[in-house]
Structure 1
Amino acid sequence: MNQLITLRCGLRSELSGLALLRESMKLSARAMLHRRQTGRWLELLNSHPLFRQMLPACPRLVNKIYRSYFSTRLGCDDRLAVLQAHYQTVIQRGLAPLVARAAEGPVELCRLDGKTGQEYRIELRAGGVLCREGELILQLAHGDQVLYSIAFSFLHHFGAVAVGVGCLQGKHGGGGLDQVRDATRELHGMRPKNLLVRLVRQFGHDHGCAQMILVGNANRVVTTSMKQGKVHADYDALWLELDAARQPDGDFSLACEHLPEPDMAQIASKKRSEARKRHEMLANAIAAMRAQVVRSQRAATPLRLVSIRATAPSGVSAPLLQLG
């Protein structure tokens, strides 16, 4: 029988001595403060083999309900609800084998051929990077460089499953802007950030989502970096540029839809050839991503759902809470 996932699994392996004791006490205090939510979260983490497979690469998974996650509007109950909705959708939609692989390292979903022969890749990662802003990360890569990333999770929105986008960012460091410009030219005039948003919209549509919820500037969780002037992206402007609708809570919404055919009548004649090539590139990428999901579902042994119930009156079993 597999070992249970407990709070101790959320402690960093490199800690020892007083540092380990201090982190253990902090984690115990958070668990006691949020005892009911902790019980429900640990029950979910022990309900499916996916979480045990993810844990070595994503040790912070255990602590996620205690820390700012996805949007500053979310309290502990809300964070738990988002995470429950995400992983329940992943499991129900047969995505668990793919997510388990993506937690161990980037999974190539498709390749994009640039107009001069440059090759780009769309890769999926899970849990390790941008872990405060989404559970799944879609990345545009070229060679050994990641040019752009988008972090997203499944969540419930007005009773239906939606895709929530918590982060959209380019490469840090020198040369990033030039590489993004080169990629835009190679990808038939499609900017990397627009490409990733379009692919996530399609991914959401393919997995039963009608809406995409886009976190606005005021609700981003990277508050410290924003105060220090390290974050310059204007999400509100980008979402409006994509024709997203502003919501009263400061976030934005955009329909998840199947890739529409380009309206050539609205495109200048000299740009129609590039528009057709851009649409063909997107259609091929979407088909390849779908095929990768199907291959992952067929190749892996179906993961068995095992229900593990907490037994303590408070809803948290002593073995799950134990740190020592």
Structure 2
Amino acid sequence: MRRTASPLSLIMLGFGTFLLVLAPLLVWYVHPRAAVNPIDIDTTAVYNGRGSVFDLDRVETVSDQAITVTQRVRGNVEASVDSGNAVWDVITTVDTEKSLPAADPHDALDFSPHRWVLDRETTKPVHCCEETPRIEGEAYLKFPFDVQKRSYQWWDNTLGDTVVMRYQGTEKVQGYTGYRFTASVPATKTGTRLVPGSLVDEPDRPQVLAEEWYSNHGLELVVDQATGRVIYAQTGPRRTLRAPGGDEDATVLLDAEKLAFTTGTQKEAVRQAKRDSGQLRLLGEVLPVGALVAGFALAVTGGILVARGRKEEERPGLSGTAQ
């Protein structure tokens, strides 16, 4: 009897070839399309700390107050689909114990709504879709995917400009390792505001167009390397008023050396970073390597069995021999 290649060897050869083709597709096609910023994002980050705030009822700055900053980010799905970008609406509120809990965020000590439009793959700002303000730089709210060990231009919305976040090594947050970046902001004029003259040491003038100044004691961010998600954030804002052309602060509106992610915000950010980076690692590393190894083994084994079956088929049979 003559033997031919078995169906099993052909299946092994075909499936092995399929896996060898699949491996580079996962790396070069599937993985890049998985590493995109979502359009249906809905997250809330809360910062806590203590500092000085301007009390509107007492018309003076009050020190050693508990301060809570809440940042809510929601994706505008309709605008995102129409534009092809990620359109995120951001509301940031600053509260003291007096204004919390607040049924309406407009009742906060400070209420700041704005819209950020970003490229879904690169995270670079896109200027469309009623973006306010005009955000620039390489990162804001999150870093690009595949964060590198270098400095990044980070948008500071209070400053209205970018600051340089410098890489400072790695740091663990809730047991999870990320890249640490830091920066500081020197005192900078950011605008003007019409206020009573008494607030800027000019009591004889009922209204003065005072200068608004902003500085930051220190910005610190810890970022997930794969996704660019911020898993820890710390900021030290100082906002003041000065008389027109003045060299010194006349009134402190807000001054806190450290406002940082609460433990709950850290844990949730780490949970999402682990989930998303795990999915990216699965598509970009684990599955391609597994497909490559398994495909090579199956293709080689199947090819050997097919070749052996063909050699048996081509070998002359024994004629005239009684069976």
TM-score by length of 1: 0.31
Structure with more strand by fraction: 2
CA radius of gyration, larger in: 2
TM-score by length of 2: 0.31
